Amino acid sequence: MKKLLTVGEILVEIMATEQGFGFREPITLVGPFASGAPAIFIDQVARFGQPCAIISAVGKDDFGTLCLDRLRGDGVDVSAVSQDPERPTGSAFVRYRPDGQRDFVFNIRHSANASIAATEETERLIAGCDHLHVMGTALFSQAVIDLVLDAARRIRARGGTISFDPNIRSELLHLSGLREALETVFAMADLFMPSGNELFLFTKAQTEEAAIREILDGGTKAVVIKRGLEGASWFSRDGHVSVPAYRVEEIDPTGAGDCFGATFVCCWLRGMAPAEALALANASGALAVRKRGPMEGAATADEIARLVRSASRL
Ligand code: ATP
Ligand code: MG
């Protein structure tokens, strides 16, 4: 089976138990939960049963140990996750607004994640993996950007493939070098997996149809659009298909896009038909929102297949 690699932040998430705006007054928080978009993604890949690894860094502290134990326990190869004695594990505080939007306070730039760098272990993984998945949030420091671009070029040169989820967080967009790095990864991606308006990040097109045509003409093999409660769509030069979402009770929306992406990429690497892959990926996103905590809803392939067989579509 193909081995999947991602690079990027592992952090803990601490979340507000009540809705509201920001963190300007004392509130009740719950956590720490293992998190970070690349970490959620790769945990779901492992739970789906695909060989996989993450290149990252955590601190030599309890938060780092919590995350490493969790990922290792679920089957992720963490041999290239370093434990930095100088910097703490990153953290993100999150609070939901009444309309479902989220406020984040990230503590990541000076965390261990900023020390992700090439080592013997990262070299070995880059040489041994068949597919690289890139999350836009991972590209927050020049060291990570250099590592991701080097991994992408080498995996591609060996005939491997790249998927890209821009996963834009407005709190991080101002960071220097991020925009250029996003464009470089976009240009190399076989699979582009935006959510909502992220489709228009790299085009001047005004309509979805025009944007997709431009992206496919530019050499991207397929575009997968995540549409939340409206499910998801696949577009390639051979055609397109949309598949509705599953009806579940939403407890915590964090992680839906990452789990969706993980399951979709695994199915795509296994050569599954797009409609079948979208159904499993939608089910994976639906299961992700049923549990509190970013990674707690990552489900096994059996659980995902069971939802596809039994659930009602929205
Ligand atoms: P994120 O905010 O995690 O980055 P995203 O915007 O990348 O998410 P979404 O479109 O929100 O991605 O979610 C991905 C998929 O998960 C959707 O296409 C849908 O199939 C499923 N999903 C998300 N939220 C729900 C929900 N409340 N109920 C059922 N399915 C959902
Ligand atoms: Mg997302």
Global model pTM greater than 0.90? yes
CA of 145 from ligand 1 middle (Å) equals 27
Residue 240 DSSP SS3: strand
Question: What kind of fold does domain 4-310 have according to CATH?
Answer: UDP-N-acetylmuramoyl-L-alanine:D-glutamate ligase (3.40.1190)
d(CA 186, CA 165): 9
Ligand 1 lined by 169 (C-beta under 6 Å): no
* DSSP code of residue 100: S
Give DSSP secondary structure letters for 24-83.
SS---EEEEEEE-HHHHHHHHHHHHT--EEEEEEEESSHHHHHHHHHHHHHT-B-TTEEE
Ligand 1 lined by 226 (C-beta under 6 Å): yes
Ligand 1 lined by 229 (C-beta under 6 Å): yes
**258 CA: nearest ligand 1 atom:** 3
> Cis before residue 32, ω within 30 degrees of 0?
yes
Question: How far is residue 74 CA from its own chain's centroid?
Answer: 16
> How many Cβ atoms are within 10 Å of 196's Cβ, its own excluded?
11
CA of 193 from ligand 2 middle (Å) equals 9
Ligand 1 lined by 105 (C-beta under 6 Å): no
Residue 12 DSSP SS3: strand
Domain ranges of the chain: 4-310
Establish whether this prediction's ipTM goes over 0.95.
Answer: yes
Ligand 1 lined by 258 (C-beta under 6 Å): yes
The strand pairing partners of 90, in sequence order, are 11
Q: Residue-wise pLDDT tens for the chain (314 aa)?
A: 999 999 999 999 999 999 999 999 999 999 999 999 999 999 999 999 999 999 999 999 999 999 999 999 999 999 999 999 999 999 999 999 998 888 999 999 899 998 899 999 999 999 999 999 999 989 988 889 999 999 999 999 999 999 999 998 777 677 778 889 999 999 999 999 999 899 999 999 999 999 999 999 999 999 999 999 999 999 999 999 999 999 999 988 899 999 999 999 999 999 999 999 999 999 999 999 999 999 999 999 999 999 999 876 66
Q: How far is CA 7 from CA 143, 181, 217, 236, 300, in A?
A: 11, 14, 28, 26, 22
d(CA 205, CA 9): 32
**255 CA: nearest ligand 1 atom:** 3
Residue where the block lists tokens 């059996």: 302
Give the pairing of strands 239-243 and 232-236.
antiparallel
In contact, 154 and 186? CB cutoff 8 Å: no
CA of 166 from ligand 1 middle (Å) equals 14
